[in-house]
Amino acid sequence: MSDYEFIGYEPVQGSDVVVITLNRPEKLNAISSPLATELADAFHRFDQSDAFVAVLTGAGRAFTAGMDVMENTAAGRTTMAAPDLGVSYNPFHPGKTVDDGSPTPMPRHARTLKKLVIAAVHGYVFGGGFIMAMAADLCVAAESALFEFSEVYRGMAVGWDMGYLYRFPRNVSMELALGLRMEAKRAYELGLVNRLVPDEELLPSAIDLAKQLCRLPRGAVTANRELVDSLIPTIPEQVAAHAEEVRRQLAGSPESAAAFREFAETHGYSTK
């Protein structure tokens, strides 16, 4: 049984699989600091356990709607910021700090988890949730899944780097960077998703896939995963530096603050 408030942690009986569930359904599993802290701890627990594959999913109507807007507005911010949890914030704890442009699902944080992660997503797969789905080794999506980098609506720059790291065609990268919503079928056709299933089959399908991987030689599985990951390109230092400067400029601009305020108010959050 889970002993977390915002995360479910359930070993699958008779297997080397664990199901980790984002569990703030009334908030569409928005990623708050407490949830992010528990998520990092849950992956550390998984790393230390005998389990070999984790299935990451969400409770209720969504995988996750992304970073918690209410937490940001309550803190008096005029732009979105991820929970500041240091290296522990890496979606798949433990991680390490990097400065060399290495492939990473979060800025400056590289994944070092040697075990496998399958994302089982449905409903909203937005922002940080989209990043986690892509950072997982495999992604199983329900037909209801909707993928989006919402940050552009909040006056931020994000999404372009995912297109680069995963070698998407320019127009697909542009689609992500501009925050256009992508349905599950299109995500599957583009290769973002490995399996597309009816909603009621999502978790059983992901668990079956996890069990299949557990039957393979672990050393060979780990080695082959690392070889595939080594093919992910690094972002050129000059491009990364330019992107950081663009982020800083946007974050400090009146237009960005207005976009964040409008987004928050439109979605029912008070910025006053």
pLDDT tier at 98, thresholds 50, 70, 90:
low
pLDDT at 236: 83
| Percent of the chain predicted with pLDDT > 90 | 47
CA distance 243 to 110: 18
The CATH code of domain 7-218+225-266 reads 3.90.226.10
**Phi, psi (rounded to 5 degrees) for 52:** -115, -25
Three-state DSSP class for residue 39: helix
Q: Is 230 exposed, middle or buried (0-12, 13-18, 19+ CB in 10 A)?
A: exposed
Instruction: Name the packing angle between helices 254-266 and 237-251 (round to 10°).
Output: 70
Sequence ranges of the domains in the chain: 7-218+225-266
Strands 17-22 and 53-58: parallel
CA distance 71 to 84: 12
CA distance 266 to 263: 5
Residue-wise pLDDT tens digits, 37-94: 899 889 989 999 999 999 999 999 999 998 886 776 665 565 555 655 555 555 665 5
